[in-house]
A and B are shown apart, each in its own frame.
Chain A
Amino acid sequence: GQQVMQIPQYQHVQEGEDFTTYCNSSTTLSNIQWYKQRPGGHPVFLIQLVKSGEVKKQKRLTFQFGEAKKNSSLHITATQTTDVGTYFCAGPLIYSGGYNKLIFGAGTRLAVTH
């Protein structure tokens, strides 16, 4: 079945360093979404990418969708302690009835040391 893989599982950086997490799908995706879950919290939607090769920025966060629409990345420039959490990517699996469900990656947990 469709799988979404994310690497690394965990990364520990010093505050001010950059961070990147990568997401790969076994199938072509119509779109990809990114969520952030703070420690003790619940996943919160960050962004959705739809177009091949799309790049979107949210302040220090840069999201990319691959040309083949099978991979994506999230890059954080100059991490801050507020960036701590687990970042999930998710892609839709579309059913014949037209509705879809999201397949989530296992997530990348980011730790930031001051």
Chain B
Amino acid sequence: DVKVTQSSRYLVKRTGEKVFLECVQDMDHENMFWYRQDPGLGLRLIYFSYDVKMKEKGDIPEGYSVSREKKERFSLILESASTNQTSMYLCASRLPGGNEQFFGPGTRLTVL
């Protein structure tokens, strides 16, 4: 079974802090994704990476950056956390050109 893990289930940070969210997958998937999920808005894509060191902006990249130094790991960085970044963050991976996305358990981030 594909396993996608995220570094924290719950995280509380203060405004202005730099925040790192880590995602690791164990199935050698080339493609990885970061979403945020907010009530009534569904899943919105922040960034994705189709291979190591490659990244593409999604629909809402402002205030975020990413890093993909190794195939299994995709990091989401909030350079200076703000209260409007309080959300559920979901990481996903899949095979290239493929279909099914495998999601991690999510990190619920609260920015005070």
Using CB atoms and an 8 Å cutoff, list the residues of chain A in contact with chain B: 6, 9, 31, 33, 35, 41-45, 48, 88, 95, 98-102, 104-107
Q: Which size class do B's interface residues fall under?
A: 20 to 34
Using CB atoms and an 8 Å cutoff, list the residues of chain B in contact with chain A: 31, 33, 35, 40-45, 48, 50, 56, 58, 90, 96-97, 99-106
With a cutoff of 8 Å between Cβ atoms, the chain B residues found around residue A102 in the complex are 45, 101
With a cutoff of 8 Å between Cβ atoms, the chain B residues found around residue A31 in the complex are 99
- List, sorted by A's number, 17 A–B pairs whose CB atoms are closer than 8 Å: A6-B42, A41-B105, A42-B90, A43-B43, A43-B90, A48-B100, A95-B56, A98-B97, A100-B97, A101-B56, A101-B58, A104-B35, A104-B43, A104-B44, A105-B42, A106-B41, A106-B42
Do B97 and A106 have beta carbons less than 8 Å apart? no
Do B103 and A44 have beta carbons less than 8 Å apart? yes
A33 to B98, CA, bound (A): 11
Do A45 and B101 have beta carbons less than 8 Å apart? yes
With a cutoff of 8 Å between Cβ atoms, the chain A residues found around residue B35 in the complex are 104
- A5 to B: closest C-beta gap in Å: 10
